[in-house]
Amino acid sequence: MLHGPLLGKILMFAMPFALSGVLEQLFNSVDVMVVGRFASSEAMAAVGANTFLINLCINLFIGMSVGANVILSNHIGQYNNVAIRHAVSTTMLLSIINGILLLLIGLLLAPLALRAMGTPANVIDDAITYLRIWFVGSPFFMVYNFGASILRSKGDTRRPLYILIIAGVINTAVALVTVIVFKMSVVGVGIANDGAYVFSAIAVVYLLRREQGPFRLDYRHLRIYGVELKRILQIGIPAGIQGMVFSFSNIFVQSAINSYGSSAMAGASASQIFDAYCYFLLNAFSGACVTFMGQNYGAGKVDRCKRIFRICLICGAAATLIGNMILFFGDDFFLRFFTTDAEVAHFAKLRIAVTMTTQWIAAFYEIPASAMRGLGYSLQPALMTVFGTCVFRLIWIFTIHPIWPGFEQLMVIYPASWLLTDFIVFPAYLYISHKAFMFVLED
pLDDT tens for 65-123 read 888 888 898 888 888 899 999 999 999 999 999 899 889 888 887 778 778 777 777 88
Question: What pLDDT was estimated at residue 109?
Answer: 75
Q: What is the mean pLDDT of residues 123-134?
A: 86
Question: What pLDDT was estimated at residue 443?
Answer: 59
pLDDT digits (tens, 9 = 90+) for 200-237: 999 999 999 999 889 999 888 789 999 999 988 888 88
CA-CA distance, 152 to 146, in Å (whole number)? 10
Angle between helices 185-209 and 7-38 (to 10 degrees): 150
Q: What is the mean pLDDT of residues 176-188?
A: 87
Is the per-residue pLDDT at 34 higher than 90?
no
CA-CA distance, 193 to 133, in Å (whole number)? 9
Q: What is the mean pLDDT of residues 360-374?
A: 93
Residue 298's pLDDT band (cuts 50, 70, 90) = confident
pTM for the whole structure? 0.76
H/E stretch holding 291 reads helix 262-298
CA angle 34, 36, 39 (to 5 degrees): 80
Residue 43's pLDDT band (cuts 50, 70, 90) = confident
Question: What pLDDT was estimated at residue 198?
Answer: 96
pLDDT digits (tens, 9 = 90+) for 110-126: 778 778 777 777 888 88
Question: What pLDDT was estimated at residue 359?
Answer: 94
Residue 442's pLDDT band (cuts 50, 70, 90) = low
- Among 152-156, 228-232, 370-374, 398-402, name the one with the lowest average pLDDT: 152-156
Q: What is the mean pLDDT of residues 395-423?
A: 92
Residue 441's pLDDT band (cuts 50, 70, 90) = low
> 87: closest CA among 142, 139, 143, 149?
149
Question: What pLDDT was estimated at residue 27?
Answer: 66
In 17-26, which positions are buried (b, 16+ CB within 10 angstroms) versus exposed (e)?
bbbbbbbbbb
Average pLDDT of the chain is: 86
In 375-410, which positions are buried (b, 16+ CB within 10 angstroms) versus exposed (e)?
bbbbbbbbbbbbbbbbebbeebbeeebeeeeebeeb
Question: What pLDDT was estimated at residue 428?
Answer: 94
Among 333-337, 385-389, 412-416, name the most confident range: 412-416
442 compared with 278, residue with greater pLDDT: 278
Q: Cite the DSSP H helix spans in 49-136.
A: 51-77, 81-116, 121-136
> 322: closest CA among 357, 298, 373?
357
Among 22-36, 123-137, 200-214, 241-255, name the most confident range: 200-214
Question: What pLDDT was estimated at residue 242?
Answer: 75
Question: What pLDDT was estimated at residue 217?
Answer: 92
CA-CA distance, 317 to 166, in Å (whole number)? 29
Q: Considering only CA atoms, give the Rg of the chain.
A: 21
Q: Report how far Cα 276 is from the mean position of its chain's Cα atoms.
A: 8
Residue 369's pLDDT band (cuts 50, 70, 90) = very high
How many CB atoms lie under 10 A from the CB of residue 130? 26
Question: What pLDDT was estimated at residue 111?
Answer: 74
Q: What is the mean pLDDT of residues 273-277?
A: 83
